Structure 1
Amino acid sequence: MRFLIPALAAATALTACSQSAPSGEESEARSVNLYTARHYSSDEAVYADFTAATGIEVNVLQASGDQLIERVRVDGERSPADIILTVDAARLHRAEEAGLFAVSDFSNIDGIAANMVDPDGHWVAFASRARVIAYSNDRVEAGEITSYADLADPRWEGRICVRSSGNVYNQSLLAGLIAHEGEEAAEAWAAAIAANLARAPQGGDRDQLRGIAAGECDVAITNHYYYAMMARSNDEADRAVAAASTLVFPNQETTGTHVNISGAGIAANAPNAEEARIFIEYLLSADSQRKFAEMTNEFPVIADSQWDNDVLAGMLPFTADDIAIDVLGENNAAAQRVFDRVDWP
């Protein structure tokens, strides 16, 4: 695997040695306890391949990000968690603030951008998703929208679909705006979006795309991979929804498009810390990065990863915001306060 880093290569070699041990010698079974907020088939495939490559079994506990954080926090030193894996910078920040991560050195991972690694060594990203704008092919002209700021224009009044302010993806988008432009400018933008809503926020990102296809709104804010899921779906209705809109990767001439992550860190009280490190490194291997791109439609975080996904490839190239991901988590509380002040539902 092209991006297999030394620790994983060594672990694989050790596994191979143990399998060829003299008759009568039994190698000790190894396992890792994964607490994950993800629920994708790509991840299950990665787990199976990881075990096949290393001999390390993966025990999975799955729940929402906030539930996982609370579970590990309450269990304290008794927690069996080896790895905490979740989506969005805000949740990673909450886990970090609760003291749930061990300090690790992820600096030896080749090909990953510096902003994708926590500067204090608590977590590392392994997949990314862009927060983009979709517009109706029938009711919006190409070029009308090129930035997030464009959505604040009064001409979009009654035309925007977006999830609620309680959604962590929206919170991180606003956290990024706060970092770039300050809280006052971010609040003005959020107030304008709230005034331009076509309907009260409802559902997930795919529901915003369905709103465009149904004529309920002309523009929506969504994560890119939800659009890709629908465009590549076996369901004809989902493909029709995707075909009704076009994506814009905003802010290409300024800060770049807002990007968030899925990330993982070793738990502070991990009973199997070495196995946890090997697993996290495997998430960044060439084969795992390929699976995230092909099966989940996420962008790999390792430069020059190879994968086959025409819809995803069609979104490239674009300039991503290179803001440090940990800043998004740090600004989450401020973003929530802004949403409350402007009455974004």
Structure 2
Amino acid sequence: MRSLILASLAVSVALPAFADEVNIYSHRQPELLKPLTDAFTEKTGITVNTAFVDKGMVERLQAEGDRSPADLIMTVDVARLGEVKDAGVTQAVAGDALDAVPETLRDADGQWMGLTTRARIVYASKDRVADGELTSYEDLADPKWKGRICTRPFTHDYNVALTAAFLGHHGAEETKTWLEGIKANLAKKPEGNDRAQVKSIWAGECDISLGNTYYMGKMLQDDEQKEWAESVRILFPTFADGGTHVNVSGVALTSAAPNKDAALQLIEFLVSDEAQKIYAETNFEFPVSDHVERSEIVQSWGEFTPDSLPLSEISDLRPQALDLIEEVNFDG
């Protein structure tokens, strides 16, 4: 990035300058994007520089303003995509690239779009949870699960998005009651990440947990965690009047975008069948393209019906959802 040293980023590194390049600020680890960026560079000759920005992305982009070297923002979770839009550090994308993404998985104003999806599912003990014992998100508040649920903090983005989706279906009063019911069913205080909850099921500390689908693929590739993964099965709960909640990894074009044309080429590549297949095979995520098959491992988890509530609506409901989570002191 033209003599830029990203000294204040989580990973501080001087990035090289090239005649044709795209510069990405990413919440995702660069190694997760490398198979995609390498394929794009091989196809187009355009170099991709990726800087991992763990925290403070919005603040950094606002401080840099029009001088920002970043062309694209790549992140996970609709909440983070909504944050960059609300901060005014993105610009709209139109045309074939945007149209390639289903309407429910992109911003209504074209300020961001999903690239892959992941379902927020339930990991259930193979030994202690019977088939059909849990079928809906509403079931999580049933007293029969008292002392049987583990979860990461509900103030985490993934659970805030799920709560926002529940809010979109049921309204504030029912959502508060639902949160209180799940809290009463917890086996222990919320802590750790999604994989840690599966470990707790394996250890007999609880029987079910919430998690993202792709973690199953990641755990099965890990020598230690494979045993945890094999102790559970994936359930695809639905809302009583909807489908299974999905979230996205996504991309947004920055308002500065010094290499806009090249950045738009990369966006077009990321929604192409070629890139979607790479996503499916390497990260165990669901392609947004209907033309691309899921990986063999992902197919083994079974079919489900994604919820139809638009992610842009879920993003708008996120602040109210977080208020309700904090009101019931879920993580306390």
- TM over 0.5, shorter chain: yes
107-116 vs 38-47, greater mean Cα deviation? 107-116
Residue type of the alignment partner of 1:149: E
How far apart are the structure 2 equivalents of 1:70 and 1:166? Answer: 21
Quote the residue 2:304 is aligned against: 318
Equivalent positions of 1:146-185 (< 5 A) are: 146-185=135-174
How far apart are the structure 1 equivalents of 2:183 and 2:40? Answer: 45
Residue type of the alignment partner of 1:144: E
Instruction: Check if 1:46 corresponds to 2:33.
Output: no
User: How big is the shift at 1:41?
Assistant: 3.6
Quote the residue 2:318 is aligned against: 332
How far apart are the structure 1 equivalents of 2:136 and 2:284? Answer: 23
Instruction: Check if 1:199 corresponds to 2:199.
Output: no
How far apart are the structure 1 equivalents of 2:312 and 2:124? Answer: 30
How far apart are the structure 2 equivalents of 1:108 and 1:129? Answer: 20
User: How big is the shift at 1:304?
Assistant: 2.0
**Mapped contact 2:217–2:297 kept (Cα < 8 A):** yes
Residue type of the alignment partner of 1:112: V
Structure 1 residues 40 and 299 mapped into 2: Cα distance closer, same or farther (>3 Å)? farther
Quote the residue 1:189 is aligned against: 178
**Mapped contact 1:83–1:266 kept (Cα < 8 A):** yes
- State the SS of the aligned residue for 1:264: strand
Equivalent positions of 1:95-244 (< 5 A) are: 95-107=84-96, 111-231=100-220, 233-235=221-223, 237-244=224-231
- State the SS of the aligned residue for 1:182: helix
Residue type of the alignment partner of 1:215: G
**Mapped contact 2:22–2:259 kept (Cα < 8 A):** yes
- State the SS of the aligned residue for 2:74: strand
Write out per-residue CA displacement over residues 96-149 of structure 1, whole angstroms, 9 at most, x where no aligned residue. 010011112045556532111211010111011100011111111111000111
Aligned residue pair count: 314
Structure 1 residues 336 and 253 mapped into 2: Cα distance closer, same or farther (>3 Å)? closer
Structure 1 residues 272 and 58 mapped into 2: Cα distance closer, same or farther (>3 Å)? same
**Mapped contact 1:126–1:264 kept (Cα < 8 A):** yes
32-41 vs 199-208, greater mean Cα deviation? 32-41
How far apart are the structure 2 equivalents of 1:276 and 1:35? Answer: 12
User: How big is the shift at 1:264?
Assistant: 0.4
User: How big is the shift at 1:291?
Assistant: 1.4
The structure that has the greater radius of gyration is 1
Residue type of the alignment partner of 1:322: S
**Mapped contact 1:129–1:298 kept (Cα < 8 A):** yes
User: How big is the shift at 1:315?
Assistant: 2.3
Write out per-residue CA displacement over residues 270-293 of structure 1, whole angstroms, 9 at most, x where no aligned residue. 111111111111111122111111
How far apart are the structure 2 equivalents of 1:57 and 1:107? Answer: 23
Structure 1 residues 338 and 134 mapped into 2: Cα distance closer, same or farther (>3 Å)? same
**Mapped contact 1:50–1:279 kept (Cα < 8 A):** yes
How far apart are the structure 2 equivalents of 1:306 and 1:130? Answer: 16
Return the match for 2:262 from 271, 275, 289.
275
User: How big is the shift at 1:194?
Assistant: 1.0
Instruction: Check if 1:289 corresponds to 2:279.
Output: no
- State the SS of the aligned residue for 1:184: helix
- Runs of 5+ in structure 2 lacking a partner? 1-17
How far apart are the structure 1 equivalents of 2:66 and 2:139? Answer: 49
- State the SS of the aligned residue for 2:180: helix
Q: Percent identity?
A: 37
Instruction: Check if 1:300 corresponds to 2:290.
Output: no
How far apart are the structure 2 equivalents of 1:274 and 1:155? Answer: 56
Quote the residue 1:23 is aligned against: none
User: How big is the shift at 1:261?
Assistant: 0.2
Write out per-residue CA displacement over residues 211-268 of structure 1, whole angstroms, 9 at most, x where no aligned residue. 100001111000011122213x141x32211111111101177311000001101101
Instruction: Check if 1:260 corresponds to 2:247.
Output: yes
How far apart are the structure 1 equivalents of 2:63 and 2:179? Answer: 35
Instruction: Check if 1:89 corresponds to 2:78.
Output: yes
How far apart are the structure 1 equivalents of 2:111 and 2:302? Answer: 30
- State the SS of the aligned residue for 2:265: helix
How far apart are the structure 1 equivalents of 2:256 and 2:96? Answer: 22
TM-score by length of 1: 0.87
106-115 vs 276-285, greater mean Cα deviation? 106-115
User: How big is the shift at 1:73?
Assistant: 1.6
- State the SS of the aligned residue for 2:241: coil
How far apart are the structure 1 equivalents of 2:208 and 2:191? Answer: 15
RMSD, aligned α-carbons: 1.6
Write out per-residue CA displacement over residues 75-102 of structure 1, whole angstroms, 9 at most, x where no aligned residue. 1122111001111111111100100111
- Runs of 5+ in structure 1 lacking a partner? 1-27
